[in-house]
Amino acid sequence: MRTLYLLRHAQAATPQGVEDKHRPLTQQGLADALALGRLMKAKGYKPDFIICSPARRTQQTMRKVLESLGEIKTVMPQAAYYTTTGQLYDMLKTVDGNIQNLMLISHNPSIHSLVRFLAGLGTDESILRLNTEYQECTLSVLECPIDGWATLMPTENDLADLLVPGRDFTAKI
């Protein structure tokens, strides 16, 4: 059994004249990511390895989450930015089989589509929530019945938790 954490970056600003890849988080986004990290720590959710998009907003999200979780080995491949659901899925399947708990931090619509592609089991409520909301800084926790990431299959994973800002955790700015 492996655990996969799929995280959409926190709320980003859209300042004039700033390229998409360089957009920063808003104050709310920074607070949400920090609150999510604290909740992950309280729930015992800790990845062994992180794949993070190289965009500024995903890196800021990761750093805020890691303030509570501590240092975790991370890679930031260019391929994790501006990518398709299929490309993210293929990327996950190349991860070292010795890694038990993996986190991917990326962007919509691909990250949301990836969760929907992979999750086949879960409570009716969690599956309904997954299909109706996936706002910024939402974390999906998938329990994957696999021996290694190369065997990750669609619809065969349990959506064990879905954490949404404002509903499951509150950040104060």
Domain count, the chain: 1
**What is the C-alpha to C-alpha distance for residues 101 and 113, in angstroms, rounded to an integer?**
20
Kindly state whether residue 171 falls inside one of the protein's structural domains. Answer: no
Kindly state whether residue 173 falls inside one of the protein's structural domains. Answer: no
For 87, the domain range is 2-163
**What is the C-alpha to C-alpha distance for residues 137 and 123, in angstroms, rounded to an integer?**
21
pLDDT of residue 95: 97
pLDDT of residue 123: 66
Kindly state whether residue 169 falls inside one of the protein's structural domains. Answer: no
Kindly state whether residue 113 falls inside one of the protein's structural domains. Answer: yes
| Run means of pLDDT, 10 residues per run, the chain, 173 residues | 97 88 94 97 97 97 97 94 94 96 96 92 74 89 96 94 88 73
**What is the C-alpha to C-alpha distance for residues 160 and 17, in angstroms, rounded to an integer?**
40
Kindly state whether residue 25 falls inside one of the protein's structural domains. Answer: yes
Kindly state whether residue 35 falls inside one of the protein's structural domains. Answer: yes
CATH of the domain at 44: 3.40.50.1240
